[in-house]
Structure 1
């Protein structure tokens, strides 16, 4: 190795943010293994790379002892006095330069391998650092490939993974298709950062509304809760402290444009936007939209509610396979028991 190599390390430090000193120390440690493998596995050695010239030297290390039992690791006090005068005492470590003639070639190969590996690690760290701060955010990517039901989404320098459990049921993914995904988790893997994506998480709906509705992005309108059955229906409860702001109207947008953009991104998923209320009766009543409700009777202790609806609205209130009632319960956090007017009268 030479001065040009040291200059290259300086350049790497500036461009990639990889510490030159750490790189050199890593190369020195790797060269110890390389030396022992090729020249003498029984010795204790230290490798030194000159920080200015790039010259590599190998030093054999021996401990000063009274009586030598291992010539590779020890030197007698008497011999050390002959070679070095009274410089060393018992227990000290003496170093001899033992640099082989052709060690420069081995050093260069090892250094190249270490540098390449460290650059890869540095790039992975940069990508990890970039995406770890994007957890619970939305990213836009291109479908790169689909393998055994798992969708791999290109996010630039890294691919995100959209597992089957995080996909919208029935949604078809085509190579090259541009999709928005919710970053569920970012993990460190052996081959770099793992970006776990979701299209079914309620957080995706929340982030999509933030993108479409300036009032939500600005904090004027707040999303209080979301309940979702991906691919089918979502209920979203919104609220505003400002009496001049209509939170539902803000989310719907002019001629329904804002909510339409969200629905289109979710491939036609139905979205019910309701007004949040601190009053449980009002909130539960609204949550059962689009059905009409006659009365709500709540039990604070059990956190349950008995709801009465007109006979002709019962199926609408419960929803197909109980979906509307189920989503309303998730949205409000209350157990909801729905009865028709005639059922309530019989009771």
Structure 2
């Protein structure tokens, strides 16, 4: 009594087809249970970074083996400049756990800006403990990222903490991003300072701020224009995303003075010397005496050879010397206004 006895039984109408159907139904139940396990385990891991192995490609989507489960890195979440090999280990950001027609699916990303935020949280202890806060991020995956940081503690430099000793912290992040350029910017509540920090090292000339339209027009010198805008407009575009303001950068057009204007300016300068009339100044400038310094280097005989000046040469030389003495008095003398 109590022994187990195995007896082979062949139920009626239970042939090969029926047994295959039973097997398929059983496998479906097992797969459904596995997928429910995926959902229950990963639904709270959204926002984490996981490591896995590239298993296969389905068109441009990548299937990643996470150990017990498989996840999907869709083409839209891939970095355009990155290529993966089967068997390669990669780190990804868990963007979502979605319920698809085929059951729960783990969606990974390497292009999401939050991937960079999470990497900095893991690398910089001051961010994870709340001393430094990441205020904003703008990213063009594979090319450039701008990160705005702020410190709750005045003694802690937010940019320096993120860069790390000899740049080690930011180098670790850049290495994970396959040498994507990362700009770490100090956040500022004042839009002018914030945009200036975001566009550094470009030197900005003037700002025109339109508060109502949240638009900023910036003038820069022509030699700073390409630096401020960046390659294919990338620097200006990321600055707009980061700050939330439309940033328009234009070159400063310097008005070039023409020859006639220069001549008129020189005549006016010479005519301002007491004792020299505008008519005399006009003649002197057209004969090459463009300033007070030119007159001081001339002799009365030089001016006397000019028909329109003639006998007035000595008086003009004296007027020039008197003006020079007034502008540059000797030590101990007082300038006469």
What range describes the TM-score normalised by the shorter chain of this pair? Answer: 0.5 to 0.7
Relative to structure 1, is the Cα distance of residues 320 and 345 closer, same or farther in structure 2, using a 3 angstrom cutoff?
Answer: farther
Q: Which residue in 2 is equivalent to 1:79?
A: none
Partners of 2:209 and 2:90 lie apart in 1 by 42
Q: Which residue in 2 is equivalent to 1:255?
A: 166
Partners of 2:213 and 2:33 lie apart in 1 by 54
Aligned-residue CA RMSD in angstroms?
Answer: 2.9
Deviation for aligned residue 1:294: 2.9
Q: Which residue in 2 is equivalent to 1:216?
A: 127
Partners of 1:117 and 1:267 lie apart in 2 by 41
Q: Which residue in 1 is equivalent to 2:7?
A: none
Partners of 1:344 and 1:207 lie apart in 2 by 50
Task: Tell whether 2:81 aligns with 1:194.
Answer: no
CA contact (8 A) 1:234 1:270 kept: yes
Task: Return 5+ residue gaps in structure 2 as ranges.
Answer: 5-9, 258-337
- Range with greater deviation from structure 2 (166-175 or 337-346): 337-346
Aligned runs of 1:233-248 on 2, under 5 Å? 233-248=144-159
CA contact (8 A) 1:213 1:251 kept: yes
Q: Which residue in 2 is equivalent to 1:136?
A: 47
Instruction: Please give the secondary structure, in 1, of the residue aligned with 2:117.
Output: helix
Partners of 2:201 and 2:48 lie apart in 1 by 30
Scaled by the length of structure 2, the TM-score of the pair is: 0.66
Instruction: Please give the secondary structure, in 2, of the residue aligned with 1:342.
Output: coil
CA contact (8 A) 1:136 1:184 kept: yes
Task: Tell whether 2:183 aligns with 1:272.
Answer: yes
Q: Which residue in 2 is equivalent to 1:300?
A: 211
Scaled by the length of structure 1, the TM-score of the pair is: 0.65
Alignment equivalent of 1:328, drawn from 205, 222, 239: 239
Deviation for aligned residue 1:246: 0.6
Deviation for aligned residue 1:326: 0.3
Partners of 2:195 and 2:158 lie apart in 1 by 17
Relative to structure 1, is the Cα distance of residues 229 and 344 closer, same or farther in structure 2, using a 3 angstrom cutoff?
Answer: farther
Deviations 1:110-144 (A, max 9, x none): 99877655443333212112212122322111111
Partners of 1:343 and 1:114 lie apart in 2 by 80
Deviation for aligned residue 1:341: 3.2
Partners of 2:254 and 2:212 lie apart in 1 by 24
How many residues matched? 247
CA contact (8 A) 1:209 1:216 kept: yes
Deviation for aligned residue 1:245: 0.8
Deviation for aligned residue 1:209: 0.7
Deviation for aligned residue 1:342: 3.0
Deviation for aligned residue 1:297: 2.8
**Structure having the larger proportion of residues in strand:** 1
Deviation for aligned residue 1:325: 0.3
Structure with bigger gyration radius: 2
Deviations 1:14-52 (A, max 9, x none): xxxxxxxxxxxxxxxxxxxxxxxxxxxxxxxxxxxxxxx
Q: Which residue in 1 is equivalent to 2:200?
A: 289
